[in-house]
Amino acid sequence: MVTQAGPTEQAIWEVLRTINDPELPIAITDLGLIREVEVEGARVRVTMVPTFSACPAIGVIRQDIRAQVLTLPGVEEVEVELSFAEPWTMKRMTERGREQLRQHGLSVPPRLGGGEVTCPFCGSTNTTLENPFGTTLCRAIYYCRDCKNPIERFRSPSD
């Protein structure tokens, strides 16, 4: 009897690294959304740290994870759990993720709880809040008084 080898944790992580956040131009792993991957035979459990409880993207991400991980050979069941034990903070985001957000003109707060908003186009901090709701629940729109560009800022839960 041949026992089919289950997937490795590493293979799961590799798949997760290819899944982008539906609202941000970076991978969910760079966003720091994944806390843990557990493999038990053909069963995979992925534990996610939700960024914003109100963010509708969470449901989409869960579906993406399930669908993508299920394509791996040897995977029969995928559970995606949300962990609220330790809240997501900007610290969970990788340097690569921050850099990618900056390249897309999204201002990233230096740490949880804000600080001033730096214009990603000219570096000015002479910015003003234009629309706290932005294009999605995850973003707020600021306006740069120096270069006159609108700035989308990635919201942290305490903003």
| C-beta of residue 149 within 8 angstroms of C-beta of residue 142 | no
3-class state of residue 77 by DSSP? strand
Rounded CA separation 129/64 (Å): 33
Q: Which is nearer to Zn ion, 7 or 134 (CB)?
A: 134
| Binding of Zn ion by 52 (CB under 5 A) | no
| Strand 34-40 with 43-48, pairing | antiparallel
| Binding of Zn ion by 126 (CB under 5 A) | no
| Binding of Zn ion by 117 (CB under 5 A) | no
| Binding of Zn ion by 143 (CB under 5 A) | no
| C-beta of residue 93 within 8 angstroms of C-beta of residue 33 | no
Of residues 70-89, which lie at the interface with Zn ion (CB under 5 A)?
none
Q: Which is nearer to Zn ion, 17 or 145 (CB)?
A: 145
The footprint of Zn ion (CB under 5 A) covers 119, 121-122, 124, 144, 146-147
